[in-house]
């Protein structure tokens, strides 16, 4: 065969290899740009972060979608209002009898929606109570993200929450509670252990042990079964008086 054909054969092979390399690299770029960031993972065994929250913005929007849902808000403000306050007031009376809460406790409800828990606290005599939620609901609930509470360290004697399952970063949720509680302060969580929580949940909690791991600066006070609007377990922690050295 003539030398020039031989040469062009190599040229074609060279061209094909270049083309393949080019296609491969551009394909790789497309792949890496279309695969979303992995969801935040939880290092704590027994807490499963639900997949699909590819950004914090998406997560917040989804939470807002529930909080701002006009149908839900109407139910919360009418049919649910008194019933919930009565049930919460029962829980709080019980905590008062166990000396975990008193009329003079400065109290915070974390993820308080329209403030039924706050109203219940006030009705049982805990007058210095407020709630936070992504959407404020004056005068009971101020605007605040529970992953970053808008309060100074040691601000509260008592914190209550029934929205642990909505935390995308459970360690931050708990860390913020422990930060804003004073030493000796009490945190009461209502969680779902045997039931599955709602479609707006960001995590699934499989037991009390993971909570004990998260509450690094507190001691477990009690665990008991409750009937709290689909949440079946009350877990109470008390922040230690002295947080000994270490980070
Ligand atoms: C929020 O809810 C509306 C319907 O009420 C729905 O169309 C929309 O897709 C939802 N957005 C998110 C981020 O879930
Ligand atoms: C706490 O407040 C309630 C309701 O206002 C009242 O009935 C009760 O006597 C108070 N308890 C104490 C110990 O002051």
Ligand 1 midpoint to CA 59 (Å): 12
Ligand 1 midpoint to CA 98 (Å): 43
For residues 135 and 154, give the distance between their C-alpha atoms in angstroms, rounded to a whole number: 24
Nearest CA to ligand 1 atom 2: 65
Query: What are the Cα distances from residue 79, in Å, to 92, 147, 228?
Result: 21, 30, 16
Give pairs for 171-174: CB < 8 Å, separation 24+. Answer: 171/42, 171/43, 171/44, 171/214, 172/147, 172/148, 173/110, 173/146, 173/147, 174/211, 174/214, 174/215
16-50 pLDDT per residue, tens: 777 777 665 555 444 444 434 445 666 788 999 98
The ligand that comes nearest to the alpha carbon of residue 66 is: 1
Q: Which of 50, 58, 62, 65 to mutate to test the pocket of ligand 1 (most atoms within 8 A of CB)?
A: 65
Crossing angle (nearest 10°) for helices 79-97 and 70-77: 60
Q: Which residues does 52 contact at the CB level (< 8 Å), separation at least 6?
A: 39
* Ligand 1, CB cutoff 6 Å, lining residues: 61-62, 65
Q: Which residues does 92 contact at the CB level (< 8 Å), separation at least 6?
A: 101, 120, 121, 124, 126, 160
Ligand 1 midpoint to CA 65 (Å): 6
Nearest CA to ligand 2 atom 3: 125
Ligand 2 midpoint to CA 227 (Å): 25
Cis peptide before 139 (omega within 30 of 0): yes
Instruction: Give, in degrees to the nearest 5, the angle at Cα 208 between 202 and 209.
Output: 105
Q: Answer for the pair 147, 104: CB distance below 8 angstroms, yes or no.
A: no
Crossing angle (nearest 10°) for helices 79-97 and 116-123: 50
The ligand that comes nearest to the alpha carbon of residue 70 is: 1
Ligand 2 midpoint to CA 243 (Å): 32
pTM: 0.82
For residues 166 and 69, give the distance between their C-alpha atoms in angstroms, rounded to a whole number: 16
Nearest CA to ligand 2 atom 5: 125
pLDDT confidence of residue 242: 78
* Residue pLDDT tens, the chain, 247 long: 455 555 677 777 777 777 777 665 555 444 444 434 445 666 788 999 988 898 999 999 999 988 899 998 898 889 889 999 999 999 999 999 999 999 999 999 999 989 999 999 999 999 999 999 999 999 999 999 999 999 999 999 999 999 999 999 999 999 999 999 999 999 999 999 977 767 889 999 999 999 999 999 999 999 999 998 889 999 999 999 975 554 5
* Ligand 2, CB cutoff 6 Å, lining residues: 103, 125
pLDDT confidence of residue 154: 98
Q: Which residues does 244 contact at the CB level (< 8 Å), separation at least 6?
A: none
């Amino acid at each position: 065969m003539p030398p020039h054909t031989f040469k062009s054969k190599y040229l074609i092979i060279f061209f094909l290899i270049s083309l393949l390399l080019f296609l491969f690299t551009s394909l790789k770029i497309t792949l890496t740009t279309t695969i979303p960031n992995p969801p935040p993972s939880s290092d704590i065994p027994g807490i499963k972060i639900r997949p699909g929250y590819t950004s914090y913005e998406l997560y917040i929007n989804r939470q807002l979608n529930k909080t701002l849902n006009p149908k839900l808000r109407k139910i919360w403000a009418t049919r649910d209002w008194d019933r919930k306050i009565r049930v919460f007031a029962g829980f709080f009376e019980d905590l008062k009898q166990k000396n975990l809460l008193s009329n003079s406790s400065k109290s915070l409800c974390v993820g308080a929606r329209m403030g039924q828990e706050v109203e219940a606290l006030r009705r049982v005599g805990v007058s210095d109570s407020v709630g936070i939620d992504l959407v404020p609901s004056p005068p009971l609930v101020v605007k605040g993200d529970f992953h970053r509470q808008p309060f100074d360290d040691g601000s509260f004697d008592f914190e209550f929450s029934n929205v642990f399952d909505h935390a995308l970063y459970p360690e931050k949720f708990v860390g913020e509670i422990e930060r804003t509680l004073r030493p000796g302060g009490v945190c009461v969580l209502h969680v779902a252990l045997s039931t599955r929580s709602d479609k707006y949940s960001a995590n699934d909690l499989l037991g009390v042990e993971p909570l004990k791991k998260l509450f690094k600066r507190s001691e477990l006070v009690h665990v008991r079964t409750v009937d709290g609007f689909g949440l079946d377990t009350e877990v109470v922690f008390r922040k230690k008086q002295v947080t000994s050295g270490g980070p």
